[in-house]
């Protein structure tokens, strides 16, 4: 039987109990689950599509695939994305977990991913019985290249953004070795970098750079996949609305397997996703909410003695007190605040904690008060 690691968040139970006992109740900033309402325009689209007696298309409807292509160009500067290279997925986590298997990887194959990373990259390799290989540089692989290399930009948990030059070097290296590159970019709309910190070549693009950007891939999506989710930017975590896009031949392979496996996004969710992609107003509103929460939390965690590192994009503050991450978790739990230890994300995160911005305004304000009192 395949053995997988324990689900990390289960180990927070004792700290959650301690934090919950603090007067005023628990402030849970350990998981990046949205707490704000799903946009009305999306809810209306879901209701309008509620009569759905037939099976949906695994490939997604033509207008949904076209909408993703249009969104990529308008928001991310990606031109000429073939709608045939777009495939809706039931959230992005299932695609991350099953991509090595869907691509036919198995024993003897290597799956690379960042040393500090969301645990599902490692789990996905194990599900395929491939070898998980955490690495922060292509040189770490030596003469044997992986079959699949995961990038995560903006990173979870670090919030680190990979620039155009970095992405281009990875693509060039991967193509010279026949490596498939999958870039998980679901936090791209939540870019906190001031203009002066951005590469001048990024101007005019609303989000962080994509692996499919023509300045990265030279106008060809060969060997490249971008994984994206609307869970964070549009508060659609409960809808499981995501997609993978890029190399049409790779997407076609994924589609064929998913047809057989019954991995199809429900029709009402496809309609809701279409509405979300077409509406930019709710994106600006949600980003403003997170910006305000971020502005409230940063000085508070610094006053508590934590140093914020990276965190230039995404939904988290990546912090360290220069001590074991579980010690920091315990000290914050004493203040009624639950966070995720960096150890969840690999040995390289053992002295950090991840603090999510996904609390209500009232809970974030409570956390800030507790940290500074």
**Domains, the chain, ranges and CATH?**
8-30+282-372 (3.90.1150.10), 41-279 (3.40.640.10)
First to last CA, the chain: 50
Among the ranges given (2-6, 25-29, 151-155, 287-291), the one the predictor scored with the smallest mean pLDDT: 2-6
Rounded CA separation 159/200 (Å):
20
Confirm if 170 and 141 have CB atoms less than 8 A apart: no
Does the pLDDT of residue 282 top 70, yes or no? yes
Please report the pLDDT score of residue 9 as a whole number.
73
Higher pLDDT, 88 or 144: 88
Each residue's pLDDT tens digit, 226-263: 999 999 999 999 999 999 999 999 999 999 999 999 99
The confidence band for 94, taking pLDDT boundaries of 50, 70 and 90, is: very high
CA-nearest of 267, 264, 228 to 245 is 228
Show the CA angle centred on residue 122, arms to residues 143 and 90, nearest 5°: 125
Each residue's pLDDT tens digit, 306-352: 999 999 999 999 999 999 999 999 999 999 999 999 999 999 999 99
Does the pLDDT of residue 203 top 90, yes or no? no
Rounded to an integer, what is the distance from CA 74 to the centroid of its chain? 20
Does the pLDDT of residue 289 top 80, yes or no? yes
Confirm if 258 and 248 have CB atoms less than 8 A apart: no
User: Concatenated DSSP letters for 135-175?
Assistant: -SSGGGGTTS--SEEEEESS-TTT-----HHHHHHHHHHHH
Please report the pLDDT score of residue 44 as a whole number.
98
Among the ranges given (74-78, 90-94, 203-207), the one the predictor scored with the smallest mean pLDDT: 203-207
Please report the pLDDT score of residue 195 as a whole number.
85
Please report the pLDDT score of residue 167 as a whole number.
97
Rounded CA separation 352/340 (Å):
9
Higher pLDDT, 6 or 300: 300
Does the pLDDT of residue 1 top 70, yes or no? no
136-146 mean pLDDT: 91
Mean pLDDT computed over every residue of the chain: 95
Show the CA angle centred on residue 95, arms to residues 90 and 100, nearest 5°: 155
Please report the pLDDT score of residue 7 as a whole number.
75
Confirm if 370 and 302 have CB atoms less than 8 A apart: no
Does the pLDDT of residue 10 top 90, yes or no? no
Each residue's pLDDT tens digit, 39-58: 999 999 999 999 999 999 99
Q: What percent of the chain has pLDDT over 90?
A: 92
275-287 mean pLDDT: 96
Does the pLDDT of residue 281 top 70, yes or no? yes
């Amino acid at each position: 039987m395949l053995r997988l690691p324990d689900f990390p968040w289960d180990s927070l139970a004792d700290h959650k109990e301690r934090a919950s006992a603090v007067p005023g109740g628990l402030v849970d900033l350990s998981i990046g689950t949205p707490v704000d309402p799903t946009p009305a325009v999306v809810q209306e689209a879901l209701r309008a599509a509620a009569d759905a007696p037939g099976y949906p298309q695994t490939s997604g409807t033509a207008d949904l695939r076209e909408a993703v292509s249009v969104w990529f160009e308008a928001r991310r500067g990606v031109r000429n994305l073939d709608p045939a290279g777009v495939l809706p997925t039931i959230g992005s986590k299932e695609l991350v977990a099953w991509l090595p298997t869907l691509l036919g990887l198995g024993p003897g194959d290597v799956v690379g991913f960042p040393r500090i990373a969301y645990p599902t990259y490692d789990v996905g390799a194990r599900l395929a019985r491939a070898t998980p290989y955490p690495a922060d540089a292509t040189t770490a692989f030596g003469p044997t290249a992986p079959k699949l290399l995961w990038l995560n930009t903006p990173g979870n948990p670090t919030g680190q953004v990979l620039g155009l030059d970095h992405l281009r070097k990875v693509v060039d290296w991967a193509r010279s070795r026949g490596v498939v590159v999958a870039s998980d970019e679901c936090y791209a709309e939540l870019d906190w970098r001031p203009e002066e910190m951005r590469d001048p070549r990024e101007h005019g693009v609303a989000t962080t750079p994509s692996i499919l950007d023509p300045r990265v891939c030279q106008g060809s999506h060969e060997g490249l996949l971008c994984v994206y989710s609307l869970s964070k930017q549009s508060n659609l975590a409960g809808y499981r609305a995501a997609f993978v896009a890029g190399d049409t031949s790779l997407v076609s392979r994924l589609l064929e397997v998913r047809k057989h496996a019954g991995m199809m996004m429900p029709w009402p969710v496809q309609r809701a996703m279409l509405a979300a992609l077409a509406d930019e107003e709710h994106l600006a509103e949600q980003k403003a909410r997170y910006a305000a929460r971020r502005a409230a939390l940063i000085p508070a965690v610094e006053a508590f003695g934590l140093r914020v590192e990276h965190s230039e994009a995404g939904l988290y503050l990546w912090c360290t007190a220069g001590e074991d991450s579980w010690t920091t978790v315990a000290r914050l739990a004493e203040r009624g605040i639950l966070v995720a230890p960096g150890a969840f994300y690999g040995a390289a995160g053992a002295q950090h904690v991840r603090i999510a911005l996904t609390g209500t305004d009232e809970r974030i304000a409570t956390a800030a008060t507790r940290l500074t009192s």
